[in-house]
Amino acid sequence: MDDELPPPIEPAHTDVRPTPDGAPEAPIAPSLLADGVPQRLDPSYVAYDRLSGWVGVAVVFALGVVGLGAFWISSEPKLAKLAVLAGAWVALLALLVATTLFLPRKRWERARWTVSRAGLEIRKGVFFRSITNVPRSRVQHTDVTQGPIQRRFGLATFVVHTAGQQHSEVELEGVAFDVAKALRDDLMAAGAGDGA
């Protein structure tokens, strides 16, 4: 059933920039989002997630080199301890490389988001799957955030702050920046209309 989903909403720019063929793009109408049809994350999420993974691999590699070097210099080198530490470091690197190569695509394939009159639903997870529902009546405010790697791919994280203690902050990562802004406008306009 997951494979029968329609293609994602094509991102548009609200500042109406020209397309490659010269025609201006129209902004996304929020009403197009609230149709109850499940949507995928932006396809560039796979490349973004993979690049983020490679940054993590580089950090672990650098910390391992520094840590093993410091261990070698600061104490009498015991080859058995050094071999165990180096083995654990290599195993961790191998695990990070494997997850960086294979998990981003699986995460993208499994993730879905839906906006309807009821609210926002987010499905995600490869090994441990979750379904999060945010009723429109519980939305207090929303944020659209972008990190430096997300900006490179035109992506954003849509954050919904809700009333209550459990899941008071819900994130939808990997949507196009303009789609995130349209989601914000749609959910906040509905909240204002309901008197929330």
Give pLDDT, residue 29: 47
Under the banding of pLDDT at 50, 70 and 90, the label for residue 105 is very high
Give pLDDT, residue 36: 80
As a residue count, the chain comes to 196
Give pLDDT, residue 43: 94
Is residue 32 scored above 60 in pLDDT? no
* Whole-Å CA distances, 173 to 103, 149, 169: 15, 12, 13
Domain boundaries, the chain: 47-106
Is residue 113 scored above 90 in pLDDT? yes
Q: Find all residues with CB under 8 Å of 139, minimum gap 6, and list them.
A: 119, 160, 161, 162, 187, 188, 190, 191, 196
Under the banding of pLDDT at 50, 70 and 90, the label for residue 37 is confident
pLDDT tens digits, 46-63? 999 999 999 989 998 998
pLDDT tens digits, 66-80? 888 887 777 676 777
The whole-number average pLDDT for the span 124-128 is: 92
pTM of the shown model = 0.70
Give pLDDT, residue 42: 94
